[in-house]
Amino acid sequence: MTALPTPDADTFVIEPEGLSALVEALCHEGYRVVGPSVRDGAIVLGEIASANELPCGWTARHEAAAYRVERRDDDAVFGWAVGPHSWKQELMPSRVRLWRASSAESVEEEPPPGRPLALFGVRSCDLHAIAIQDRVFLEGRYVERDYALRRTGAFVVAVDCGEPGGTCFCASLGTGPRADAGFDLALTELVSTEHRFVVRVGSDTGREIARLLPVRAATDADLEAALAVTDEAAGRMGRRLEAGGLRDLLAGNLEHPRFAEVAERCLTCGNCTLVCPTCFCTSVEDVNDLADGSAERWRSWDSCFSTEYSYIHGGSVRRSPRARYRQWLTHKFGTWHDQFGTSGCVGCGRCITWCPVGIDVTEELAAIRAGDGEVDHAHAR
Amino acid sequence: MSAVATCPKLAVWKFSSCDGCQLSLLDCEDELLAIAEEIEIAYFPEATSGEIEGPYDVSLVEGSVTTAHDVGRIQEVRAQSALLVTIGACATAGGIQALRNFVDVGEWIPLVYASPEYVSTLETSTPIADHVPVDLELRGCPISKAQLVDTVSALLHGRRPRLATTSVCTECKARGTPCVMVAHGTPCLGPVTQAGCGAICPAYARGCYGCFGPMESPNVAALARQWRELGAGDDVMLRALRTFNANAPAFREASYDHE
Ligand code: SF4
Ligand code: SF4
Ligand code: SF4
């Protein structure tokens, strides 16, 4: 293998050593590289310094309310579907300081993060989730400064999915399993014969980084094998969702009896919204120092499952668990279309896996569709 | 809530309790110096022998009401305090000693004490709010130092204290702890327990013990069904609900389903 002097080709192949070289190159170029590793019994995201930290030879089993990491019988690095973390924790961290003030005259905005981010191993569903958050935070009337600072200049290494999880349904929504846009480099891992990665270039920055890697030209066989990975994965989704017409279906079924049934099971714990890679609700709070009188403003994750979040003069507008679950489901799959022009769901399955009682959006939506038009007279006004 | 006076007077009171929550105040070493500068610690027997007469701007009350004497004393404390803040599971829910509420105290006393005739106690252990109006509650067994410092600071500056009423799960997610129920199959009280501790136990791969008492809308029945799926039956759930916050209404009522 030799480094391509000018990798004009938009597609090429790297070996496992090339993957190590990619992590090194990104670190060397000054990126804070965030990628997957096995920790606390899960495949989670965090800063990595070398490809040795990647979950080589690991996979995970997903079901509603159940997740287990397991060894694979090969050395696949990406042979698993998205875990409990999402890139949201990097792009809109759970708690960030927005500004500090030592007096009314001196308000200092939080300085930009030191190093640009490199997101290493972003799945197609999550590329779509990032695109949705971009729309919310960057493309509306107001730009979210903190998000913009983290997002701008972030390098994205996407990975096609060959091992969909038991709760995945991106294929139903057209958001995966193959990365189609929004990356600098995209990898398809091939493990069956020779362990290798077919790499697609998605941007000029991606091409610059690719120049630093030991690569070889992709053959037709490589390209065919790469396409087969995602074609085959699309047929093995753990869940499916009939996505057509959901907006109107939900708008017409706000008093559906299913909402009272799901509220019996729902813990209103908020896990679904916090693991969801598109959920963006936050609250803002001020803190002050006891001694010197300085003050700070912090932004932290919040959720439509908290009563405080919907507290307006006179009380919370969504007191019952039924109202809170309905808000989550109808916003994500219905009114999001009105607000942002797409579905708010990308089919990653996290809310199903990580709901402690296994409430499943695909099952809830199917039940509402099956009983389209039913009215819960006990709750309807 | 309006800001309290400049150099406000703070009193710390103890009812039936282990002193652990008061010690949390002493444990705030760095912050304590700043607190001591801004407020006058008027009554705090655990920390100082001096005593300044009331009325007090803020009273922190630890412990539950378990004797006839307590019943009268809490009225006096309330009468002398502009703001009354209860601290800890004893003061906010009755504490571990509220386990007596589920049994006949008269039968138990001779089993525990050699000279039962010296014991004068009520049948129940009850939270302060059952006796007098309470302005703010700091939950926990023990309370969180961070919440205590933030609350004192908020009261001094007329700012709203930050006291979440959501689940412990929100803190697991904020710190990135993979859920122990989902990833390990470990029963956890986090979904029905109020945030505030910082989700310490799940970060050490343990289920939440419920130290902060019920969250704002606890669905214990739904959680119990899931615990059963994980192999934790009625006996385990009963023991989990009947600990430090056994007498908190949501935990108490749910616990009867598992007797
Ligand atoms: S709603 Fe659920 S499946 Fe859809 S993007 Fe959010 S977490 Fe993923
Ligand atoms: S749907 Fe599940 S994760 Fe979401 S609030 Fe309800 S119980 Fe929690
Ligand atoms: S470990 Fe417990 S507190 Fe944390 S998310 Fe899971 S159920 Fe909630």
Q: Are residues B209 and B140 in the same domain?
A: no
- Contact predicate A281/A303, CB 8 Å: yes
The angle at the Cα of B169, spanning A62 to A303, to the nearest 5 degrees, equals 100
A70 touches B at CB < 8 Å: no
Confidence (pTM): 0.95
Mean pLDDT of the region A79-92:
98
Residue B1's pLDDT is 44
Domain shared by A259 and A368, yes or no? yes
* Full residue range of the structural domain in which residue A294 is found: 246-380
Q: ipTM of the predicted structure?
A: 0.95
B66 and B125 in one domain?
A: yes
Pick the ligand that lies closest to the CA of residue B168.
3
* Whole-number pLDDT of residue A275: 98
Out of A287, A308, A353, the one facing B165 most closely (by C-beta) is A308
Tell me which chain A residues have a C-beta less than 8 angstroms from the C-beta of B184. 41
Domain of residue B204: give its range: 168-258
CA distance linking residue B172 with residue A24, whole number of Å: 31
| Percentage above 90 pLDDT, chain A | 91
Q: Which percentage of chain B shows pLDDT scores above 70?
A: 97
Q: Are residues A158 and A126 in the same domain?
A: yes
Residue A30 belongs to some domain of the structure: yes
The verdict on B117 and B174 lying in the same domain is: no
Same domain, A25 and A170: yes
Interface probe for B, chosen from A40, A279, A283 (most Cβ of B below 10 Å), is A40
pLDDT-wise least confident of A119-128, A252-261, B18-27: B18-27
Q: Say if residue B48 is in the same domain as residue B121.
A: yes
Q: For B155, name the nearest residue in chain A, comparing CA atoms only.
A: A290
Helices (H), B39-112: 68-80, 88-93, 105-112
Q: Which residues line ligand 3 (CB under 6 A)?
A: A 271, 356; B 168-169, 172, 179-181, 188, 190-191, 199, 202, 208
A369: confidence class by pLDDT, cuts 50, 70, 90: very high
Ligand in nearest proximity to the CA of B211? 3
CA of B234 to the centre of ligand 3 (A): 20
Residues A49 and A131 in one domain: yes
For atom 8 of ligand 1, the residue with the nearest CA is A348
Taking the C-alpha atoms of residue A296 and residue A110, their distance in angstroms, rounded to an integer, is 10
B98 and B220 housed in the same domain:
no
Q: What are phi and psi of A245, to 5 degrees?
A: 70, 20
Does an H or E element contain A63, and which? strand A58-63
Asked if residue A2 has pLDDT above 50, the reply is no
Mean pLDDT of B213-240: 98
Query: Is residue A240, in this structure, part of any structural domain at all?
Result: no
